[in-house]
Amino acid sequence: MIGMAFSRDDIPDLTGKLAIVTGSNSGTGYETALALAARGGEVVIAARNADKAKAAIHRIKAAHPTASLQFEALDLASLASVNAFAERCLDQGRSIDILINNAGVMALPERKVSDDGFELQMATNYFGHFALTARLLPLLKAGQARIVQLSSIVHRRGHIRLDDLNHQQGYKPWPVYAQSKLAMLMFAMELDRRSQANGWGLTS
Protein backbone atom coordinates (compact mmCIF):
# COMPACT_ATOMS: atom_id res chain seq x y z
CA MET A 1 0.00 0.00 0.00
CA ILE A 2 1.41 3.37 -1.02
CA GLY A 3 2.33 5.62 1.88
CA MET A 4 2.40 2.85 4.49
CA ALA A 5 5.59 2.68 6.55
CA PHE A 6 6.64 0.35 9.36
CA SER A 7 8.88 1.36 12.24
CA ARG A 8 10.05 -0.13 15.53
CA ASP A 9 7.25 1.82 17.22
CA ASP A 10 4.77 -0.51 15.49
CA ILE A 11 6.18 -3.57 17.30
CA PRO A 12 3.79 -4.46 20.15
CA ASP A 13 4.82 -5.15 23.71
CA LEU A 14 6.65 -8.50 23.69
CA THR A 15 6.96 -9.01 27.43
CA GLY A 16 6.93 -12.74 28.16
CA LYS A 17 7.41 -13.67 24.50
CA LEU A 18 10.32 -15.87 23.41
CA ALA A 19 12.06 -14.99 20.14
CA ILE A 20 14.86 -16.86 18.38
CA VAL A 21 16.91 -14.93 15.82
CA THR A 22 19.51 -16.86 13.85
CA GLY A 23 22.71 -15.09 12.89
CA SER A 24 21.88 -12.22 15.23
CA ASN A 25 25.40 -11.24 16.27
CA SER A 26 25.67 -8.75 13.36
CA GLY A 27 23.85 -7.14 10.43
CA THR A 28 20.10 -7.45 10.00
CA GLY A 29 19.97 -10.20 12.61
CA TYR A 30 21.52 -7.94 15.23
CA GLU A 31 19.14 -5.09 14.39
CA THR A 32 16.21 -7.51 14.65
CA ALA A 33 17.35 -8.81 18.04
CA LEU A 34 17.88 -5.23 19.24
CA ALA A 35 14.37 -4.19 18.20
CA LEU A 36 12.69 -7.24 19.74
CA ALA A 37 14.64 -6.88 23.00
CA ALA A 38 13.72 -3.19 23.16
CA ARG A 39 10.05 -4.18 23.14
CA GLY A 40 10.51 -6.60 26.04
CA GLY A 41 10.99 -9.86 24.17
CA GLU A 42 13.24 -12.59 25.54
CA VAL A 43 15.69 -13.04 22.68
CA VAL A 44 17.91 -16.01 21.90
CA ILE A 45 21.01 -14.95 19.97
CA ALA A 46 21.53 -18.10 17.89
CA ALA A 47 24.90 -17.87 16.18
CA ARG A 48 28.14 -19.69 15.42
CA ASN A 49 30.63 -17.36 17.08
CA ALA A 50 30.27 -17.14 20.86
CA ASP A 51 32.56 -14.13 21.26
CA LYS A 52 30.69 -12.08 18.64
CA ALA A 53 27.35 -13.13 20.09
CA LYS A 54 28.37 -12.10 23.61
CA ALA A 55 29.62 -8.77 22.26
CA ALA A 56 26.24 -8.26 20.58
CA ILE A 57 24.44 -9.02 23.84
CA HIS A 58 26.69 -6.51 25.62
CA ARG A 59 25.83 -3.79 23.07
CA ILE A 60 22.10 -4.47 23.31
CA LYS A 61 22.19 -4.41 27.10
CA ALA A 62 24.09 -1.12 27.00
CA ALA A 63 21.15 0.36 25.10
CA HIS A 64 18.47 -1.54 27.04
CA PRO A 65 19.77 -2.58 30.49
CA THR A 66 16.72 -4.67 31.37
CA ALA A 67 16.78 -6.62 28.10
CA SER A 68 16.57 -10.41 28.41
CA LEU A 69 19.03 -12.13 26.07
CA GLN A 70 20.93 -15.39 25.90
CA PHE A 71 23.41 -16.95 23.53
CA GLU A 72 22.90 -20.41 22.04
CA ALA A 73 25.42 -21.98 19.67
CA LEU A 74 23.99 -22.70 16.23
CA ASP A 75 25.76 -23.36 12.94
CA LEU A 76 23.15 -23.55 10.18
CA ALA A 77 25.69 -25.22 7.86
CA SER A 78 25.85 -28.24 10.18
CA LEU A 79 22.80 -30.45 10.59
CA ALA A 80 24.37 -31.88 13.74
CA SER A 81 24.52 -28.37 15.21
CA VAL A 82 20.93 -27.68 14.13
CA ASN A 83 19.78 -30.90 15.77
CA ALA A 84 21.70 -30.18 18.99
CA PHE A 85 20.20 -26.68 19.21
CA ALA A 86 16.69 -28.03 18.61
CA GLU A 87 17.15 -30.77 21.20
CA ARG A 88 18.13 -28.18 23.83
CA CYS A 89 14.99 -26.19 23.03
CA LEU A 90 12.77 -29.27 23.09
CA ASP A 91 14.27 -30.40 26.39
CA GLN A 92 13.38 -27.02 27.91
CA GLY A 93 9.86 -27.43 26.53
CA ARG A 94 9.09 -23.74 26.31
CA SER A 95 6.83 -22.56 23.52
CA ILE A 96 8.40 -20.27 20.90
CA ASP A 97 6.55 -17.11 19.90
CA ILE A 98 8.85 -15.77 17.17
CA LEU A 99 11.41 -17.47 14.93
CA ILE A 100 13.46 -15.27 12.60
CA ASN A 101 15.45 -17.41 10.15
CA ASN A 102 18.01 -14.75 9.29
CA ALA A 103 21.49 -16.32 9.21
CA GLY A 104 23.09 -16.69 5.83
CA VAL A 105 26.08 -16.52 3.54
CA MET A 106 26.07 -14.52 0.32
CA ALA A 107 27.64 -15.02 -3.10
CA LEU A 108 30.70 -17.03 -2.08
CA PRO A 109 33.24 -16.51 -4.89
CA GLU A 110 34.22 -20.18 -4.91
CA ARG A 111 32.05 -23.24 -4.37
CA LYS A 112 32.31 -24.62 -0.85
CA VAL A 113 30.45 -27.45 0.87
CA SER A 114 29.05 -27.88 4.36
CA ASP A 115 29.99 -30.55 6.90
CA ASP A 116 27.18 -32.63 5.38
CA GLY A 117 28.44 -32.25 1.81
CA PHE A 118 25.89 -29.69 0.58
CA GLU A 119 26.76 -26.54 -1.35
CA LEU A 120 27.36 -24.00 1.42
CA GLN A 121 24.90 -21.27 0.44
CA MET A 122 21.96 -23.67 0.12
CA ALA A 123 23.12 -25.52 3.24
CA THR A 124 23.24 -22.40 5.39
CA ASN A 125 20.50 -20.25 3.95
CA TYR A 126 17.86 -22.89 3.28
CA PHE A 127 18.56 -26.50 4.31
CA GLY A 128 19.64 -25.55 7.83
CA HIS A 129 16.67 -23.27 8.40
CA PHE A 130 14.25 -25.82 6.95
CA ALA A 131 15.59 -28.48 9.33
CA LEU A 132 15.55 -26.07 12.28
CA THR A 133 11.94 -25.05 11.70
CA ALA A 134 10.85 -28.66 11.27
CA ARG A 135 12.56 -29.79 14.48
CA LEU A 136 11.10 -26.88 16.45
CA LEU A 137 7.59 -27.31 15.04
CA PRO A 138 6.01 -28.65 18.27
CA LEU A 139 7.22 -25.58 20.19
CA LEU A 140 6.26 -23.23 17.37
CA LYS A 141 2.75 -24.68 17.26
CA ALA A 142 2.48 -24.35 21.04
CA GLY A 143 3.36 -20.66 20.79
CA GLN A 144 1.25 -20.07 17.65
CA ALA A 145 4.44 -18.52 16.40
CA ARG A 146 5.24 -15.95 13.77
CA ILE A 147 8.01 -17.35 11.56
CA VAL A 148 10.05 -15.19 9.20
CA GLN A 149 12.27 -16.50 6.41
CA LEU A 150 14.76 -13.85 5.26
CA SER A 151 14.62 -13.72 1.50
CA SER A 152 15.98 -11.06 -0.87
CA ILE A 153 14.94 -9.15 -3.96
CA VAL A 154 17.53 -11.26 -5.77
CA HIS A 155 15.07 -14.17 -5.52
CA ARG A 156 13.64 -12.80 -8.78
CA ARG A 157 16.77 -14.10 -10.51
CA GLY A 158 16.54 -17.46 -8.76
CA HIS A 159 15.93 -20.82 -10.34
CA ILE A 160 15.65 -24.07 -8.39
CA ARG A 161 18.01 -26.43 -10.15
CA LEU A 162 16.30 -29.66 -9.14
CA ASP A 163 18.72 -31.81 -11.14
CA ASP A 164 21.74 -30.26 -9.36
CA LEU A 165 20.76 -28.43 -6.16
CA ASN A 166 24.37 -28.50 -5.00
CA HIS A 167 25.63 -26.86 -8.20
CA GLN A 168 28.36 -29.39 -8.71
CA GLN A 169 28.44 -28.19 -12.31
CA GLY A 170 28.75 -24.57 -13.42
CA TYR A 171 28.88 -22.92 -9.99
CA LYS A 172 28.32 -19.16 -10.10
CA PRO A 173 28.07 -17.14 -6.86
CA TRP A 174 24.99 -14.98 -7.52
CA PRO A 175 22.74 -17.51 -9.24
CA VAL A 176 23.36 -19.95 -6.39
CA TYR A 177 22.61 -17.26 -3.80
CA ALA A 178 19.46 -16.34 -5.71
CA GLN A 179 18.40 -20.00 -5.70
CA SER A 180 18.75 -20.15 -1.91
CA LYS A 181 16.68 -16.99 -1.43
CA LEU A 182 13.98 -18.20 -3.80
CA ALA A 183 13.88 -21.44 -1.79
CA MET A 184 13.43 -19.43 1.43
CA LEU A 185 10.53 -17.49 -0.07
CA MET A 186 8.85 -20.67 -1.33
CA PHE A 187 9.33 -22.22 2.11
CA ALA A 188 7.68 -19.23 3.81
CA MET A 189 4.65 -19.40 1.54
CA GLU A 190 4.26 -23.18 1.75
CA LEU A 191 4.63 -23.21 5.53
CA ASP A 192 1.85 -20.64 5.83
CA ARG A 193 -0.35 -22.63 3.43
CA ARG A 194 0.15 -25.84 5.41
CA SER A 195 -0.44 -24.07 8.72
CA GLN A 196 -3.78 -22.74 7.49
CA ALA A 197 -4.78 -26.07 5.97
CA ASN A 198 -3.95 -28.02 9.12
CA GLY A 199 -4.89 -25.52 11.82
CA TRP A 200 -1.37 -25.17 13.21
CA GLY A 201 -1.90 -21.54 14.19
CA LEU A 202 1.38 -20.34 12.69
CA THR A 203 1.96 -17.14 10.74
CA SER A 204 4.71 -17.52 8.17
Active site residues: 177
Phi-psi region of 145 (alpha: psi -120 to 50; beta: other; left: phi over 0): beta
